[in-house]
Structure 1
């Protein structure tokens, strides 16, 4: 059941790589997510009415769909304050591989007629 959940919920069977470090990172990320999901399920089960049932696969899908919100709430609880979004967008847009042209620039250059010297 555990491996089935890892396979279906984290799509571990869809990665085609033979690089050991990539496989290890994917496994660790999936296992960490699974542990957090199960701990949160225990907390929800404690707080919910006794007659409520949380099927594991449905819970996994629910957890995955709310993961971003969970991270945001956890960050607030821990006092993490990310920089303002606009500032981050401006900074990141200036840093992205400045020595490498973006796809639109490469396409425009590639489609221009060649001039003869």
Structure 2
């Protein structure tokens, strides 16, 4: 009987540990971040599970520094009305108080694809 309680305790600890805090303010970032050094092509390895529409896979973003501003183009697969489509999206970044964190906004039709759970 004691091993049953031990398994229940381990399961409870494991599930609590599995929960993640997805608030951007809780993310640890690189100290002395230099956005010019990290500009280039980025590939998504994982993402927060969104509600609604969003790029599902093959997410690649090209970050370029133009006049001191970062922009991104992202390409990936989207499912709309049971059809798989390729999305080609353009986004812009605004700086925040933390030089390693940015706010991103997609433009045009793509702006509807960026909405996720908050």
Structure in which a larger fraction of residues adopt helix = 1
**TM-score scaled to structure 2, two decimals?**
0.22
- Determine which structure has more spread, i.e. the larger CA radius of gyration: 1
Structure in which a larger fraction of residues adopt strand = 2
**TM-score scaled to structure 1, two decimals?**
0.22
